[in-house]
Amino acid sequence: MDKTKAHCNTCGGDRNHGIAHCEKASWSDDEYGVHGDDTYEMLKCLGCETITLRHTSWVSAEDDVRISYFPQSIFRPKPKWLDALWLELSPTDLFVYELLGEIYVALHNDLKSLAAMGVRSLIEKVMISKTGDKGTFAKNLAEFENLGFVSTKQKERIEAILDAGHATIHRDFKPALSDVITLVDMAEHIVETVYLHESKITALKKRVPPRQLKT
Ligand SMILES: [Zn+2]
């Protein structure tokens, strides 16, 4: 069996795979003078034996090949607290879980601009849900800091996120995968701090018996 390097969701990265089966189809479009081919490979990870289908598409008019996997590649595992988050959120805050889910779908499908816009939208909605809408991003963010949800340092990072999201929407900025991963990291950190740490602290306060005043 021939071998190739390919992404394995189970192992979490590029691994050696055996090519169990391969089909190739070529096409050409005489009117536009382009041609290309599609290669479909059934791959088996030589580490964990997971089976994946890889589609490699090449078009003569483009420099790069396009590669997609079925099931979709997961380049970044979801946080372990995601299920706990769903249980912790009130019905009015469920948008946090839903939007995060959509951001992961965009990320796993290499839709980097959509993922960046999603992060911006998520952070804005989180801020507004906690501070009420103060009219502008800057005012919402200042109030978010005032109420102690973020430190000054974190506020600066959020400003950078909002600007990247804004640039993606309005200034034709195309974020790299590493940019988007940084944005998603930050978004996860904020969600965890705002919704999970808060509830853990509340639960802790309930468990700790109050101090007895000495008489
Ligand atoms: Zn594997």
Distance 18 CA to ligand 1 centre (A): 11
Distance 40 CA to ligand 1 centre (A): 19
Distance 115 CA to ligand 1 centre (A): 26
Distance 93 CA to ligand 1 centre (A): 36
Q: Looking at residue 197, what is its pLDDT?
A: 74
Residue 213 predicted with pLDDT over 90: no
Distance 14 CA to ligand 1 centre (A): 8
Residue pLDDT, tens place only, 4-30:
999 998 888 889 999 999 999 999 999
Q: Looking at residue 13, what is its pLDDT?
A: 84
Measured between alpha carbons, how far is residue 182 from residues 119, 155, 156, 175, 207 in Å?
Answer: 10, 15, 14, 11, 36
Tokens of 136: 């502008």
Tokens of 179: 């940019």
Distance 51 CA to ligand 1 centre (A): 9
Q: Looking at residue 94, what is its pLDDT?
A: 92
Distance CA 186, CA 207 (A): 30
Distance 187 CA to ligand 1 centre (A): 29
Distance 6 CA to ligand 1 centre (A): 9
Distance 149 CA to ligand 1 centre (A): 40
Mean pLDDT of 26-45: 94
Q: Looking at residue 39, what is its pLDDT?
A: 97
97 neighbors 86 (Cβ within 8 angstroms): yes
Distance 178 CA to ligand 1 centre (A): 23
Torsion sign, CA atoms 98, 101, 106, 112: positive
pTM score = 0.67
